[in-house]
Amino acid sequence: MNETREQILGLIELQELSAVAIATELNLSPGAVRRHLDLLVADDLVTSHIPLRSGDTARSRGRPSSVYRLSDTSEMLRSAMDYRRLLGRLAIALQELNEEDISGKDGTQILEIVSTKLAHLMFSEYKSDMRAKSFEAKIVEVISLLSGEGILRSVHTDGDEYVLSTPTCPIKSLSKTTRAVCEADRQAIELLIGEKVTQVQTIAKGAATCEYRVCSTIR
């Protein structure tokens, strides 16, 4: 797919946006963005609607702007890619299980072991891309690396803590049935940053974002 259209899909995956807002983010003209959006709409990857406004006055100030969001088809396609990635890692994690891992353990305990193996597989995939030395730089780098999987998108500070979050859940339907994948993500972030990470809320449990908190032990 065209790189610009991929960038547009990435932006509206996070929130509904107008063509003008997308143009501003990508430093393109609104006309150019609308042409890309028309193609995405034609491919059933994007839908548009006019947001509701309070009162009639706002609607009387000229033509209201449409906002764009991912279509159901696009959501399914992007979710399918995330599930394929997970299944690939899961196959490796299951192959690595040995008799000691499963002997005398129930399903929940085995799932916890698999979750840890998934985290270490993610760590192995990304650790060579980690160049940062300082704690703050590692935070930024981890977000950049994991944003492609929808695991992290942004960070802000809250006192001594860094709050890492994402407004999307790449495998929401599975996350509603088990915490194993969420825990694998948490552990992977922890391994990459090198500090204890706590997950405080998830989209699967009804929150608006998946959120992690981390505080440097280095003073």
User: What local confidence, expressed as pLDDT, does residue 79 receive?
Assistant: 81
Threshold 0.85, pTM exceeds: no
Q: Does domain 3-50+65-70 have CATH number 1.10.10.10?
A: yes
Query: pLDDT by residue (tens digit) across 87-136?
Result: 999 999 999 999 999 999 999 999 999 999 999 999 999 999 999 999 99
Query: pLDDT by residue (tens digit) across 37-54?
Result: 999 999 999 999 887 655
pLDDT greater at residue 183 or residue 15:
183
Tell whether the model's pLDDT for residue 59 goes beyond 50. no
Domain residue ranges of the chain, discontinuous segments joined by +: 3-50+65-70, 75-214
Pairing between β-strand 210-214 and β-strand 197-201 as defined by DSSP bridges: antiparallel
| 3-class state of residue 162 by DSSP | strand
75-214 folds as Muramoyl-pentapeptide Carboxypeptidase; domain 2 (3.30.1380)
